[in-house]
Amino acid sequence: MRVALSLLILVGLTYLINILSVGKGMPEEHEAVRTMIVVGLLMIGAWLAGQMSVKISLPAVTGYLVYGLVVGPSILSLIHPAQIHRSGADASPTQFAGDLAIALIALSAGGEIHLGWLKGRTKKILVLLAFHILILLIGIVGLVLLAAPHVDLLSNENETAVWVVAVLAGVVMVAKSPAVTIAMINDYRAAGPLSQTTLVVTVFKDLVLIVMFAGAMAFCKAAVDETSVSGGFLLVVGIELIGSILLGGVIGVVMVAYVRRVKAHYLFFVIGCCFMVALLGEQKFAIMKHHGHLEPLLMALSAGLIMKNLWPEGCEPIFHTIESMSLPIYCLFFSLAGARIDLQVFAELWYLSLGLVVVRLFFTWGGLRLGIKAAGIDEKWSRCIWLGMISQAGVSLVLVTLIVDGFPDSNWAVPLKTAMVGAIFINQLIGPVCFRYGLVVTDEVGKAEVSPRR
């Protein structure tokens, strides 16, 4: 009751501030004040909503997402859309704060990947990943092809356009959210084969996905207009992928060197490194009229992996510091994700969104079941791994936006984005609940407490 009352008071005060500021405007030099209000509203309110969510046996992440949705532009409009969405080539201060959160979350993810754990398991993981991706991709492509004659989105398009939409939709639906996986594992202090395998498969899948998306975009652009594709597009994607991983490795080596030599002020050092990663992610480059940028998620992930596996014992203070900062970071990141949910978008093509969700769930389950058999895995936890593969978030939304940018003259790009964004948001809400169930069933909740690092 006290938590709910505190949440109502916070929302009420923010609503009152918004009313008092209407018509008076706020000078540009006070933009920092506006950003602080938004960040404070999201972080404190999300924490309270997370506490309420836990009381009814739901993951705290679900509370963060729902709270962001409620205070966001779709319902109460306590946050202006410009404060949470990227505007053109520039990011708002709140968006940049989200990039900082991504960097910290990814550092934590890299620190959870033990390369030694992969010895003897690499082949099984790759088989599992291959079956999962291929069967899910085939399922989504098949759904779009079968549904095309019956939906307004594609009924008037030619066969080439239908195949282009099917392939692009399939690739986007393959995407998974590493941030949700990391947050759930840390939040429930989970440890065990399900947690570790889910995290490794998620990270590897995102790396494969970037290459898949680049190839799919090149193929689809060539199918629509053979003159629209050049080697520059593939080169830009290659630089984004390889450059992000290499630069992240350099940052990881620097962080190891700092811990070895300085051995102090870890909090400020971690914040500074995350700030640097976020800044590097904002820098744009262009090759043959194709624009790109380094990916903060990959940079930070690579840095964390290098630290954990290059000097695991010495870097424990860094990971302890990251863990101590995780709660406010998760509150900010996931409430921002919830605030970006557009209910009006979902209402327009809800039936297509729901169809994508149902088919994605079925083929995720089926693909992983076949992958488990092909890999020769016969353990209790393996039957629950599909529950950790449902969530979608930032990466998926970025890919959808790139599709619209890549086909500006098509009639189907914007409606396709609408349908897929709706599906992504549904997966974003149900994913944490499903993964929590899997962790509970396999008895991995709280097991991380016995780890020396913890």
pLDDT for the residue 450: 46
Task: Express each pLDDT in 31-63 by its tens digit.
Answer: 566 677 777 888 889 899 988 988 887 888 888
The one-character DSSP state at 393 is -
pLDDT for the residue 434: 92
pLDDT for the residue 133: 92
pLDDT for the residue 32: 61
pLDDT for the residue 233: 65
Task: Express each pLDDT in 75-85 by its tens digit.
Answer: 888 877 766 65
pLDDT for the residue 454: 37
Alpha helices in 193-295, H assignment, sequence order: 193-224, 231-238, 244-261, 266-282
pTM of the model: 0.73
User: d(Cα 16, Cα 20) in Å, to the nearest integer?
Assistant: 6
Mean pLDDT for the chain overall: 80
Find residue 160's DSSP bridge partners. Answer: none
Q: Please, what is the end-to-end C-alpha distance for the chain in angstroms?
A: 32
- Residues of the chain with pLDDT below 50 are 23-24, 28-29, 87-89, 450-454
CB 401 within 8 A of CB 38: no
Q: Which residue has the tokens 């570790």?
A: 196
Angle, helices 266-282 vs 93-111, to 10°: value is 120
pLDDT for the residue 367: 92
Own/partner contacts of 68-71, CB < 8 Å, gap of 24 or more, are 68/42, 68/334, 68/335, 68/336, 68/337, 68/338, 68/339, 68/340, 68/341, 69/338, 69/339, 69/341, 69/343, 70/338, 71/11, 71/14, 71/41, 71/42, 71/45, 71/335, 71/339
Determine the residue type at 232. Answer: G
